[in-house]
Every structure is written in C-alpha cells, then in structure tokens.
Structure 1
Amino acid sequence: MAIWHEVDKAVKQWLKDARKSIVESLESALDIDTKSNANDLVTNVDKETEQFFVKQIKEHYPHHKIVGEEGFGDKIDDLKGIVWIIDPIDGTMNFVHQKRNFYISIGILEDGIGRVGYLYDVILDELYWASKGKGAFFNEEMISPLEEGNINEAIIGFNPASIHSEQAAQTFIPLLKDVRGARSYGSAAMEFAYVATGRLDAYISLGLSPWDFAGGKIIVEELGGVVTDLQGNPVNMLEKSSILAARPELHKQLCDYLQS
C-alpha cells in the first residue's frame, strides 16, 4: 500500500528531527522526575519528544490513533484501524546517566497486525526497521533472517533485577548457568535490536509495556524470530507482559526450559 511508503518516509525524517533536538538537549541541564518509583525516571526530553511525534502524526494522519509512554496520545481500548505505539526515550536511565544507549521505539499496527517497526539509536544515528513482508534493515542494509540457535551457545539479554524472589532465582539462575552468557543493556529497544542483528540470541524480560516491545516485536518477527510471553502465549499489545524474544528454535527450547 502506498500509505506505508509515505509513512516510512515521514517517520525517518521525524526521527532525524527528533535526534537533532535530543542531542542539543544534552548540552543543557535535564529536568528529571520519577514515576512509579525512584528508579523509574522521566525527563523533559521524554515528554517533549513524545509531544513532537504526536503533533506530527495528528497533523499528517488525523485518523490514526496513538499510544505513548508519557500519555500524550489517545486513550484506546482496542486496536482497530491504524495505531502508533511510541516510546520517545527507551532507556531513560541510560539517557540521564550515560548520555548514550537509549532509543526511540515506534511500532505501527493496522487492525492489531504489526505493519512497520522502528528502533533508533539516537546517539549513533543507527536505525533498525522493518516493513511486514518486505524485510528488515539496519539503516538501508537488509538484515539476514535469524538462524535457529540453541541454549548452550546462546547469549541472552536479561536484567539481573528480575531475580527479586526465591521463585525467580529458582527459575532463572539455572538458565543463566546453562547459556553461554547474559548481558543487560538497560533498554528493551536496544536488546530487541541486538536480537534482530544476532548480537544477542534471545531477550527475556518479566514486565514490559507495549511501547517497550511494539517496534522490536515487528522487526524480530519479520526476521523469523518469535516473540511471546514467557509461557509462549501471544502478547497483548495494549497490556504489560513478560517477553521472550528469540531465534526460532531457541525460543522453543527456552519455553520448554522455563516451563520445566
């Protein structure tokens, strides 16, 4: 459809415009606040970036709906029509403390089906993106489909903070011993991008919101990867969910492992 070519061109330009503003903001003092807890940070730049995208979308595509992390989009209870799911700064703690390793994440769905996804490394100016049925790309270079993979050779993305109970320890510590290695990058978008490009073989998280995984899910699935909750069930794109994103055969192995 012509609309997706038009949307793709627009999003890529808006990402460049947002990058310019975000990079300039790093030269000034940030207005930092907290949300659910002292480690759940939000800055003026998160809010301003989301407002920028909402303004552009409403001007160019007034009939589209928007779900944004910072609440400047729409209140919706279904995925009918075209819905944009946006995280303006994924990895806010990295943004605040490191001034790098944060992403803009955008997933666009049509009647609940992921059509195009974007994960943008703002500082490195690197874009991972996919269009359903047309492949996935790193900048303009096509990404190869994901190979099968297996647990013993796998590098997985996993946040150690997820081990917050005895039950979680019993579940994950044996797994972390059986895989080749584990990494934690502080940005779900970054970890999805790394699964897409084979830098990670899988990514596990206990509780992500739709804006954390919408863009990455579209990209990983376009490459033949599998994205579900930890029980292997489809994720609800309007609710929080655990996430298991992995190479296809590795996903099956990890599901079986976690169930046992």
Structure 2
Amino acid sequence: MNKSTRQTIFENAKQWVLEAGENIRERMKSEFQVDTKSNPNDLVTEVDKETEKYFASKIRSTYKDHLIIGEEGYGDKVESLDGTVWIIDPIDGTMNFVHQKRNFAISIGIIHNGIAEISLIYNVMDDVLYTALKGEGAYRNDTKLSKLKDDVQLATSIFALNSILACENKKVNEKKIQQLIIDSRGTRGYGSAALELAYVAEGIIDGYITMNLAPWDFAAGYLLIEEVGGKVIQANGDRVNFLENNTIIACNHMVVDELLNKYIELK
C-alpha cells in the first residue's frame, strides 16, 4: 500500500471511528438490550451490533474490494489476507461498557497483503484516540508516542493479564504465571484487550499476556506496539496470525526473552 492510499484510508477510518464514538455516547443515554454469546460472561449489546453494522456500511460503500473481519457477524468469510482487510471490534470491553459505562474501546486494524498498515483504538468515554500508520510512528491523539525504553527490567515492570492465568488454565503453566506476579512490580487487569495493548504502546504498562485472543482484539494494538519498538508474538514465540485466535505476548522488547524463557510454559 503506497503512502497516499494509506493516508486516505486512515483519514476515512478516523472520521468513522469518531462518528461511531459519538453515536455510542448518545446511545448510552437510553436503555439498550444486553445478550450473551458463548457463556454468561460473554456479553453483546445492540450497540455493539449497530456500531459494527455502521462500519460495514461505510467500508462497503467506499471500498467495494475491501474485506471485513468483525466480531458481531457483519463481516465477510475471510480465508486469506490478500488485498485489504479491515479487522473490527466495535466495542472491545463490552462487560465494562455494560457495567462501568467506561474503559471500553473501538478497535480497528487494517491489513494489506498480510501487513499491518493502519491502527485505530478509540477510548470512547475519555475521548482518547490511539493511531498508527506503518513506518510513521504511533500517536495518542496528536502526540507522537516515544519509543519504548531500553532500560526496562522485569523486576520493575507492570503487566496486564487476565486473572484466569493465575488459576487453572489449560494452556499455560499457572505456577509460573504466579511466579511472574511475585517477581514483577505488579499486575493489572483493565478488561479491554485493545486498551491494554494501547497502554503497552504508551509505555504505562510493560506487557500484556493472554492465552486466547481473537484477531479483532489484537489487530489494532499490534501495529501500535510495533511502531514504538515493542513486540507482539504468540506465547510459543511464533508470529501472530490475523485469521485466527492467538496466544498473545505484547511487551517492551527488553523483557520478551525473559518472559518466554522463564515464565511462559505452554502445556
């Protein structure tokens, strides 16, 4: 994707994200329906569906040859990353959206021929937009994010992780995760993977660890972190796959080897 094309797509995506955010804030003033999907804690609302439908309509009317991967059923059946693919989570952190009315985000990653080219993560209630274009750095609103620090050590690092990782987990050695909690400075859980990845890019946390994350949860955060010199890989060290669920280790580049070698042991 050439720079001019990328910039035009980005400007359209940014406008649509901000419009969608405004629509969400308006919808929150009235009651909305809440349903469950795979389990009682896997929530979806009519606002999630309306927002994804809005993006799908905008994309298809403007870019007829682009494809969409979406969480709420308005996407395409995408089997390869040839061409341009939009990977969309209309509301990442739906449980926060329902219970807290904050700490959720719109997340969009745009992939072209398998390469992450554009990222947008919008913290709707705080009106903070994280963006990245490949090779041009990452931004928090209009402020360019600095490269991640080179002097970070695991003992002084803060990690975001799902609480289930410290309990019985089918994929990971939970005892080693418990040791990571002890050996690091602290752990956090924000309830929105997109925001947690954005916070890694911003440098306010040093890593995010999860054993099961869908493409719409990590596609936007991937490029943000890459653009500031961080790492986003699978828990076995492999590259991420934007077409399927992944284990995700996203962190400052100074602690990735120690994490993989000492604390992340897959069963």
Do residues 150 (structure 1) and 184 (structure 2) align?
Answer: no
Please state how far the C-alpha of 1:220 moved relative to its aligned partner.
0.3
Aligned to 2:177: 172
Match runs of 1:134-149 below 5 Å: 134-148=136-150, 149=152
Aligned to 2:108: 106
CA contact 1:230–1:258 (8 Å) conserved in 2: no
TM-score (norm 1): 0.97
CA contact 2:176–2:264 (8 Å) conserved in 1: no
Aligned to 2:87: 85
* SS in structure 2 of the partner of residue 249 of structure 1: coil
**One-letter code aligned to 2:27:** S
Mapped to 2, the partners of 1:258 and 1:229 lie a distance apart of: 14
Mapped to 2, the partners of 1:70 and 1:150 lie a distance apart of: 39
Mapped to 1, the partners of 2:262 and 2:241 lie a distance apart of: 23
Aligned CA-pair RMSD: 1.2
* SS in structure 2 of the partner of residue 117 of structure 1: strand
Aligned to 2:21: 19
Do residues 211 (structure 1) and 213 (structure 2) align?
Answer: no
Please state how far the C-alpha of 1:243 moved relative to its aligned partner.
0.5
Do residues 124 (structure 1) and 129 (structure 2) align?
Answer: no
Please state how far the C-alpha of 1:259 moved relative to its aligned partner.
4.9
Aligned to 1:256: 261
Q: Deviations over 1:41-84 (max 9, x none)?
A: 00000000000000000011110010001110100111000000
Mapped to 1, the partners of 2:263 and 2:6 lie a distance apart of: 38
Mapped to 2, the partners of 1:160 and 1:22 lie a distance apart of: 28
Aligned to 1:115: 117
Give unpaired runs (5+ residues) of structure 2. Answer: none
Aligned residue pair count? 260
Which sits farther off after the overlay, 122-131 or 163-172? 163-172
Aligned to 2:197: 192
CA contact 1:87–1:211 (8 Å) conserved in 2: yes
Please state how far the C-alpha of 1:236 moved relative to its aligned partner.
0.9
Please state how far the C-alpha of 1:258 moved relative to its aligned partner.
2.7
* SS in structure 1 of the partner of residue 7 of structure 2: helix
- Match among 98, 115, 118 for residue 96 of structure 1: 98
Mapped to 2, the partners of 1:41 and 1:223 lie a distance apart of: 32
Mapped to 1, the partners of 2:84 and 2:167 lie a distance apart of: 38
CA contact 2:121–2:131 (8 Å) conserved in 1: yes
CA contact 1:119–1:215 (8 Å) conserved in 2: yes
CA contact 2:134–2:227 (8 Å) conserved in 1: yes
Mapped to 2, the partners of 1:192 and 1:186 lie a distance apart of: 11
**One-letter code aligned to 1:257:** K
**One-letter code aligned to 1:162:** L
Mapped to 1, the partners of 2:51 and 2:118 lie a distance apart of: 20
Please state how far the C-alpha of 1:22 moved relative to its aligned partner.
0.3
Which sits farther off after the overlay, 232-241 or 84-93? 232-241
Distance 1:133 1:99, change over 3 A: same
CA contact 1:154–1:181 (8 Å) conserved in 2: yes
Do residues 223 (structure 1) and 225 (structure 2) align?
Answer: no
TM-score (norm 2): 0.95
Runs of 4+ in 1 over 6 A off after TM superposition: none
**What percentage of aligned pairs have identical amino acids?**
45
